[in-house]
A and B are shown apart, each in its own frame.
Chain A
Amino acid sequence: SQQGEEDPQALSIQEGENATMNCSYKTSINNLQWYRQNSGRGLVHLILIRSNEREKHSGRLRVTLDTSKKSSSLLITASRAADTASYFCATKNTGANSKLTFGKGITLSVRP
């Protein structure tokens, strides 16, 4: 069953604006990851945040994690048309050999 649920399901913004995407999950996690998928392609790993971390940055990406609320957010600053893609959060639960479980994804459209 799916662990992470992203919101909104779809997001349309103007180039240059910031995009914020949220992910909520249900059980305790070891880490949470964000992936990007261009249409008809595989997924590309963006960033990983561990359960003992609260915030991470990578270029124009900023990820936060609130384990008390079981939620994470992905912020893309100064968006570009090339950021148009689907974004998925994925959670790795605590426990040996746990698998990565993906949410349903958010479709981001950045208008030039």
Chain B
Amino acid sequence: GAVVSQHPSWVICKSGTSVKIECRSLDFQATTMFWYRQFPKQSLMLMATSNEGSKATYEQGVEKDKFLINHASLTLSTLTVTSAHPEDSSFYICSARDLFGPVPSEKLFFGSGTQLSVL
């Protein structure tokens, strides 16, 4: 099946620094990727939809300037948490759909997630 690779798996950073998280579709092209945030024992909160070659669509309440999304190619989307603060500490997960495979898929393929800890 389709594979989504997310990197890094975990990152610890100082308050005020920026952190970049990468999400790659390894064996399929993804014109759209999704970024989620998850708190312990909670559901996934959709933060934004990343669109290849155009601007991301952010969910209500998500700061665009805080969470910068770039989707420069059909296989790579990045999420940059700018000027991170302790309240940004969370588990961030990306996902994508394989729309161009033998059978267009409605299911999502997820990366393994990134645990961000801001000190």
Is A100 in contact with B108, judged by CB distance below 8 angstroms? yes
Name the one of B4, B91, B107, B108 contacting A40, with C-beta atoms under 8 angstroms. Answer: B91
Is B91 in contact with A43, judged by CB distance below 8 angstroms? no
Known A-B contacts A31-B106, A43-B93, A43-B95; the reply to A99 vs B46 at CB < 8 A is: yes
Name the one of A42, A45, A92, A100 contacting B113, with C-beta atoms under 8 angstroms. Answer: A42
Q: Which of B13-21, B36-44, B77-85 is the interface stretch?
A: B36-44
Per the CB 8 Å criterion, the residue count for chain B at the interface is: 21
A73 in contact (CB, < 8 A) = no
Cα of A9 to Cα of B110 in the assembled complex, Å: 23
Q: Tell me how far the C-beta of A48 lies from the nearest C-beta in chain B, rounded to whole angstroms.
A: 6
Category for how many chain A residues contact B: 20 to 34
Is B109 in contact with A88, judged by CB distance below 8 angstroms? no
Main secondary structure on chain A at its contact with chain B?
strand
Q: Tell me how far the C-beta of A25 lies from the nearest C-beta in chain B, rounded to whole angstroms.
A: 13
Is A42 in contact with B49, judged by CB distance below 8 angstroms? no
Main secondary structure on chain B at its contact with chain A?
strand
Known A-B contacts A42-B6, A104-B43; the reply to A48 vs B106 at CB < 8 A is: yes
Cα of A102 to Cα of B110 in the assembled complex, Å: 13
Q: Tell me how far the C-beta of A17 lies from the nearest C-beta in chain B, rounded to whole angstroms.
A: 23
Q: Mark A46-80, 1 if CB is under 8 A from B, else 0.
A: 00100000000000000000000000000000000
User: In chain B, residues 92-112, which have Cβ atoms closer than 8 Å to a Cβ of chain A?
Assistant: 93, 95, 106-112
22 CB-based A-B contacts, threshold 8 Å: A33-B106, A35-B110, A41-B112, A41-B113, A42-B6, A42-B112, A43-B44, A43-B93, A43-B95, A43-B108, A43-B110, A45-B107, A45-B109, A88-B44, A90-B108, A92-B106, A99-B34, A99-B46, A102-B43, A103-B43, A104-B43, A105-B41
